[in-house]
Structures are given as structure tokens and as C-alpha cells.
Structure 1
């Protein structure tokens, strides 16, 4: 009986470890959508019927785009606060109003504002 309990305990520990590894792996891919201080040039509002298509600075991933909408400078801290938006491109009307996604404190100023293309 004790041996069976140990065996079940070991199996339970292995299952918890595997579940933890899956969470860590999932978190690593989800981190791609974070509010980092790095950007790429991307396009937002590219579905028909929505806002005009624009070039922006942010990142794209499977579930959408996030882009830097602006920044402010905090002289006391010597940092720039970048404001990230979620490009809610899609829906029955082709676009839904973009929403605030998060912010980050960065050493560099935010990239330029999005411009029409």
C-alpha cells in the first residue's frame, strides 16, 4: 500500500511539473504581445470598411496588433512613458475603436506617430 501511495505521489508530482512547464511555455509565447520598449513597422486598420490603413510602430501576432500611440517624458525619472493601443481591426463593420492596451517606461522616446499610407 505504501509503495502504491509513493507511486501515485510521484505521478502527481510529474503531472504538476508538466503542467507548470506548459504554463511557462504558454507564457513565453504570450509575452510576444507585451508592452516592451521595442517596435517594428507594422500596418494597422487594414480590413475593408474600417479606419484608413496606417503604418504604425508596434508588433503583430496571431491575435492582432499593438502599436505605440504616443509618449510623454518624465524629466525627474529621465524616462519616456510609451502608450500602447490594441488595434481592434475586424468585426462586422470592418473596424472597432482601438483600446488602451498598456504602457511602458523606456529610455528612448516613442517612435513617430502613425502616418497614413
Structure 2
């Protein structure tokens, strides 16, 4: 929103604007998360700089994503489900499950309270 309370386009330096964004969310430690078909990007909300990036395994693409303030859940083509945790400037892959079918509608609820 600009000073006249109107929507206007803006650039966020750490975001990849050349590809489609599947999911974008405010997360802990004053950060933003952007999910594209090939990666999850963690960006500082104050400076806009890229802080960390997780890449999907080669020859696979992210189909669906969801997140909350501290966690990201990804459905990857070929029946892969990947769980990431968000820290201060880090994305940590905690679990990778190979399932029989692709997941079309993942959902994730926070497990515990997150720090401000």
C-alpha cells in the first residue's frame, strides 16, 4: 500500500520474480518465505535480502506448498513430501517421505508457539 492507501507493485530483492510463486508467507524472525516450482527462498522482510534457499531435488518440481510461521510442507512430483523448519536465516529439511501417490492438498498447523 502506498501513502494514498492504494495497491502498487513492488520489488523484493530476495524474491525470484522470473518464476511463478506458489506460496508466500510472513514467518518468524522478520522474514518472508517464497515457494516456487524449484525452491523455497527465505528473505529478510526489512532489508529484502535473500537469507537462505532450499532447492528441490534435481529432476523434480514442487507441485503444492503450505506453511505457517515456523514450518513449510512441500508436495513434490513423484510422491515426495518434504518438511522444512524455518529458523533465523536458515531452512532445515527435517523429513523427506516417499509416498505412493502425489499429495494434492497438504496442510500444516503449528506444533508449538513460535518466538516473535
What is the TM-score normalised by the length of structure 2?
0.32
Give the structure with the higher percent helix.
1
Structure with bigger strand share is: 2
Q: TM-score scaled by structure 1? A: 0.32
